[in-house]
Amino acid sequence: MRTIYPLTLIGWLAIFPAFSQTDASLGRSTDRAADISRSIQDLFPVQTEGIDYESVYDALAQLYANPLDLNRATRDELAATYLLSERQLSSLATYRAEVGDLLSIYELQAVPDFDLPTIRRLLPFVTVGGASGLFGTLPTPTDNYLIVRYE
């Protein structure tokens, strides 16, 4: 009877990694530069005349690091991303004027002319936020730190 308990414990420890989640198991790459490059290549598979793709890449890379708040973004800021059509920009502006600020990123599904591929294309580059709590919403947890000194 005593040998069953250690064997059970060893068995649980052996299969424990199968239950843990990692970024790779979720289908996400841990390399942010590869993610942004892949996202932009998916957005613009064929390059057309009239668009400076280097500046678009730089702007989207910046938005990937610090997503644009859809409740505070202007129409010009959203148009500069080349992610939305004029019709979608108008629909979003009308929706925000009629309903008010978005409460969640999932509310984009209720905006007319927004379909799931458009929303998936937008997700890495936008956020929906508002000041909540003592510090409000922090842009990214890796860019912030707190220093405390105690004597």
Average of per-residue pLDDT values in the chain: 74
Structural domains of the chain sorted by starting position, each given as residue range(s) with its CATH number in brackets? 29-130 (1.10.150)
Q: Please tell me the distance from the alpha carbon of residue 95 to that of residue 81, in angstroms, as a whole number.
A: 20
Q: Please tell me the distance from the alpha carbon of residue 25 to that of residue 148, in angstroms, as a whole number.
A: 35
Q: Please tell me the distance from the alpha carbon of residue 33 to that of residue 8, in angstroms, as a whole number.
A: 43
> pTM for the full model?
0.58
Q: Which parts of the chain register pLDDT below 70?
A: 1-37, 39-51, 130-145
Q: Which residue stretches of the chain are H helix?
A: 4-19, 32-43, 53-65, 75-79, 86-99, 116-122
Q: Please tell me the distance from the alpha carbon of residue 148 to that of residue 145, in angstroms, as a whole number.
A: 10
